[in-house]
Structure formats: structure tokens, C-alpha cells
């Protein structure tokens, strides 16, 4: 059970439980061993971060055929069941595995369920999984023992007459994102028919209530309910990816930096924005970040946005940009150091302005042996109440040298109950996690780190901590 503490004011009791200072913290002198290739369940607690602990979730016994990965770096994919009892991981051959984890006992268990698709959970039912097979949206209902699926049905196929057309065959499929609960779910994806990521042009959203709508980012064509019209945007670009916003009203679209030929990614402008918002079901496409004389100018909306329900936060400065008027930047919610590493946020815990905190992971590629500033290769949370307070939970211990992007950048995700954070790491390499099949490339595995979760109710604070 979680420990619940009620306090009338946010006082030093909270600060004593976690780090909220900005002191530079170096790696421990001796890195933990983690048990080599079969160390799932191993636990290590970092004295430099108030004894907060890390538990290893994956190894060669509960995942096979190579490196274990979380499935996306967008923060839009739900990898943990909402009862926090099961976690989805995926290896570098595209196979998804379900691993059991008990947040109360911290026991890691192997299930017998895996499949060659990028699985994810919905928002409400812990035994229901979803995946995208080319253009077909599938729903799986698991049995009680998590050994097999009781049913696997196709909810919808984007390659339909009322959507992308029955002859539509993708060559690349972007992030599959889901928003809403049973009866009000929306499913978003992005596709290319001409090449890999960076050549896409189709952003599509379907729900049972509203049907299918999509835009072609290269031509500006918008279609909803069979009616085609141009969007209101002059921007034309190839697509890097897209995800649904947590409120389901907007699709957040990332243009590619370059076309497959190496040319600039915009088709009609010398420069293009790094993010656009499409109001789902309409022709409204807006640019995130100020535009002057047809060119995109600072403060930028970079590619690592925190996509919240009411707004987005961009870059290390976490500057707000509203969906309705994203050209106008608002107050920063809290800045990382100008010399801090790249950051990847995760907002699937329901983070939003005035509500739950935003969890952020940082990673330098490749990582230096001596950290120059605070926040290096750490997992933190940013309070979204205007206090600009950063809470620091621990270090990823990641070298940043993995050939795999997800491991290289220590991508994070959050348990929906908010008491653990998932992250990927090679734990410094050198075989601490065993090696890949070549016998020399260090494995990357998935870990959970315990965190404090602060919720504000009026003048009171509730601090929830894992056992």
C-alpha cells in the first residue's frame, strides 16, 4: 500500500524525502552489477537521492531475441495497465512482451504473452490491449492468467472507402496513439506510402462516434466524412510523426527536417515549423511558435514537446503554447539548465497545468564520465502549479552509447497510478545487463524507479510514495 501523509503546508518534510536542490550529482563510485543477462527483479537504491530505488524489469528470461525497449519516445503510448500490474516492453525486432510487476511487493513476474506488434493499453480496462496491424486497429482482451487472449477483433481499418481508401498500403506507420475511455475512444496514426519515416504525409484519426478524418500534409488536403477541402494552412511538408493530444481534440504533428532525398523538409517554404496542431474533424491547422514574414522564429516549439490536455510545453524552458493560439508563447513552467542534456517528457500520468506534475528524463549522447551541471541523466518531475519546482528522483546510469535510439536517450514512461517511472538504460554498459547475440554489444533493459507523487488540494498537500 502507498503511504499517505497529509500536511497543512508544503514544508521541509517533503523536501527531505526527495531532492529539489540544483547541486551537481556525479555517478556512484561503484555502479551496481544488476545480475548480468538474468537479473530481472534486481534492486538498487541510490543513497545520493534519499535512497530512492531502481528495479530491473527485463532480462533474457522474460524477453527474447535482443534488446528490450519501451515502444515510443513521444510520451503518448500507454505501456502500463491502469492498475499498474503489467508493463509492455518491446525488443529491437518489433516483438512486444507483457511483464508482470506488483507495485506493492515490487515482484517482477514473467507472463507467457508476446506478439509481433507494438501493443499498448487503453485508459480504463487493465485487461484490454490495442495494436495496429498495418492499417487495422485491433482490440485484445486478455485472460486472467495473462497467458493468451480471449478475443482479438478488428475495430476499424483505416484502409476503408470512407477513410484512406481500400487500395491504401503503407510503407511506414508512425506512432499509434489512443485517447478516451470506453465508448468515447479515438485512435490516431500517421502513414507513408512512398518510403520510411520522414516521407509520410497522412495523419488520420478515427472514432466510432465520429468516423474517420485525415489530412495530407504534403498537399494540404483535408477530408472528413467523405468531403474533401483544403486546410487553412499554407505549410506543406513531409511527416516525421503525429500523436493525439490527451484531450483528443487536437493531433500534434511533427514535420520531418529533411525529405528522403536530403532536401529541406518543407515543400513550399525555405523553413518549416517543428510542430503543428490539427483540430481533429476540421480543416484548422495551426503552427506552434511565432511566424514572421512566412518564416518560423524563436521562441521555438521543438520536437520534444510535453503534450498536455490544455497546452504544450516546449524545449528545456518548458514554455507554454496553447492549442488555440500556439503562435503566442506564454510563461515558462520551469527551466532546465542551458547546459543540461536533451530531455524527453512523459505525460501519460495525466499531467496538466494546475494538476499532476510532468515527468522528464534527460540524457546526454554520449554521456560524459563527469557531469558538468545538475539534472544530467536524471529522472525528474516539474510541478505545473506555477512554482517552477523541479523534483529529482535519481539517475538513469545510462552511458548514451547504445546503437539503439530508445536506449541511447533513456526514454521514459509513467505508471498511471504515478508511483513509478519506467526508463531504458544500459546501466553503464560493460556487460552489467549481459550482451546481445554478437557477444559484445551491451544489452539495454527496462527499469522502474520509485517516485514521490505530490497532489495539491487547496492549502493541503498529499504526498504519495511507493513502499
Quote the domain boundaries for residue 195. 170-332
Per-residue model confidence as pLDDT tens for the chain (467 residues): 333 332 222 223 333 467 899 999 999 999 999 999 999 999 999 999 989 999 999 999 888 766 777 765 566 788 999 888 999 998 888 889 999 999 889 999 999 899 999 999 988 889 999 999 999 999 999 999 998 999 999 999 999 999 999 999 999 999 999 998 878 899 999 999 999 888 999 999 999 999 999 999 999 999 998 778 899 988 888 998 999 999 999 999 998 877 777 777 787 766 777 789 999 999 999 989 887 776 777 777 877 889 999 999 987 889 999 998 998 889 999 999 888 899 999 888 888 999 889 999 999 999 999 999 999 999 999 999 999 999 999 999 999 999 888 899 999 988 866 688 999 999 999 999 998 888 888 999 999 998 865 544 344 444 444 43
Q: Is residue 107 part of a domain?
A: no
Residue with the three cell numbers 519516445: 73
CB 217 within 8 A of CB 203: yes
| Distance (Å, whole) CA 51 – CA 405 | 29
Question: Which three cell numbers, joined as nine digits, stand for 378?
Answer: 536524471
Domain tally for the chain?
A: 1
Q: Is residue 249 part of a domain?
A: yes
pLDDT at 458: 40
CB 407 within 8 A of CB 380: no
Q: Is residue 265 part of a domain?
A: yes
Q: Is residue 140 part of a domain?
A: no
pTM of this structure? 0.90
Question: For residue 118, what are the CA distances in angstroms to 244, 255, 426, 443?
Answer: 17, 23, 22, 20
Tens digit of each residue's pLDDT (9 = 90 or more) over 322-373 = 998 998 889 999 999 888 899 999 888 888 999 889 999 999 999 999 999 9
Q: Is residue 42 part of a domain?
A: no
Longest dimension (CA), the chain: 64
CB 300 within 8 A of CB 314: yes
Q: Is residue 360 part of a domain?
A: no
Q: Is residue 149 part of a domain?
A: no
Q: Is residue 205 part of a domain?
A: yes
Question: Which three cell numbers, joined as nine digits, stand for 237?
Answer: 511538408
Question: Can the peptide bond before residue 299 be classed as cis, meaning omega within 30 degrees of 0?
Answer: yes
pLDDT at 156: 97
pLDDT at 3: 33
Amino acid at each position: 500500500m502507498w503511504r499517505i501523509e497529509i500536511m497543512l503546508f508544503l514544508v521541509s518534510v517533503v523536501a527531505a524525502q526527495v531532492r529539489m536542490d540544483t547541486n551537481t550529482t556525479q555517478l556512484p563510485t561503484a555502479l551496481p552489477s544488476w545480475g548480468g543477462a538474468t537479473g530481472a527483479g534486481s534492486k538498487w537504491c541510490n543513497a545520493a537521492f534519499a535512497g530512492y530505488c531502481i528495479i530491473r524489469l527485463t532480462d533474457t528470461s522474460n524477453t527474447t531475441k535482443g534488446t528490450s525497449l519501451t515502444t515510443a519516445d513521444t510520451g503518448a503510448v500507454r505501456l502500463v495497465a491502469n492498475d499498474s500490474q503489467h508493463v509492455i516492453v518491446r525488443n529491437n525486432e518489433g516483438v512486444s512482451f507483457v511483464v508482470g510487476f506488483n507495485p506493492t511487493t515490487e515482484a517482477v513476474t514473467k507472463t507467457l504473452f508476446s506478439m509481433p506488434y507494438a501493443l499498448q493499453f487503453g485508459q480504463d480496462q487493465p485487461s484490454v490491449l490495442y495494436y495496429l496491424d498495418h492499417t487495422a486497429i485491433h482490440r485484445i482482451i486478455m485472460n486472467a492468467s495473462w497467458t493468451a487472449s480471449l478475443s482479438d477483433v478488428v475495430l476499424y481499418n483505416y484502409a476503408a472507402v470512407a477513410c484512406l481508401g481500400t487500395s491504401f498500403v503503407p510503407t511506414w506507420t508512425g506512432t499509434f496513439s489512443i485517447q478516451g475511455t470506453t465508448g468515447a475512444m479515438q485512435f490516431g496514426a500517421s502513414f507513408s506510402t512512398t518510403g520510411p519515416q520522414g516521407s509520410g504525409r497522412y495523419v488520420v484519426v478515427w472514432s466510432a462516434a465520429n468516423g474517420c478524418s485525415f489530412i495530407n500534409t504534403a498537399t494540404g488536403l483535408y477530408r472528413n466524412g467523405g468531403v474533401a477541402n483544403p486546410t487553412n494552412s499554407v505549410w506543406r511538408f513531409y511527416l516525421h510523426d503525429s500523436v493525439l493530444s490527451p484531450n483528443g481534440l487536437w493531433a500534434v504533428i511533427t514535420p520531418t527536417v529533411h525529405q528522403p532525398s536530403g532536401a529541406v523538409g518543407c515543400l513550399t517554404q525555405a523553413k518549416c515549423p517543428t510542430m503543428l496542431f490539427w483540430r481533429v474533424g476540421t480543416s484548422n491547422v495551426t503552427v506552434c511558435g511565432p511566424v514572421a514574414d512566412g518564416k518560423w522564429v524563436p521562441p521555438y516549439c521543438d520536437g520534444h514537446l510535453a503534450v498536455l490536455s490544455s497546452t504544450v510545453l516546449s524545449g528545456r524552458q518548458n514554455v507554454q503554447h496553447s492549442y488555440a493560439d500556439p503562435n503566442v508563447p506564454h510563461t515558462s513552467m520551469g527551466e532546465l539548465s542551458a547546459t543540461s542534456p536533451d530531455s524527453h517528457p512523459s505525460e501519460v500520468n495525466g499531467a496538466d497545468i494546475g494538476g499532476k506534475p510532468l515527468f522528464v528524463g534527460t540524457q546526454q549522447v554520449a554521456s560524459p564520465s563527469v557531469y558538468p551541471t545538475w539534472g544530467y541523466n536524471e529522472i525528474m518531475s516539474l510541478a505545473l502549479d506555477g512554482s517552477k519546482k523541479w523534483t529529482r528522483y535519481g539517475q538513469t546510469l545510462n552511458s548514451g552509447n547504445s546503437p539503439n535510439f530508445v536506449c541511447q536517450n533513456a526514454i521514459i514512461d509513467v505508471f498511471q497510478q504515478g508511483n513509478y517511472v519506467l526508463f531504458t538504460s544500459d546501466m553503464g554498459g560493460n556487460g552489467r545487463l549481459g550482451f546481445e547475440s554478437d557477444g559484445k554489444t551491451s544489452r539495454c533493459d527496462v527499469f522502474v524507479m520509485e517516485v514521490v507523487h505530490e497532489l495539491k488540494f487547496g492549502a493541503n498537500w498529499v504526498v504519495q510514495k511507493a513502499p
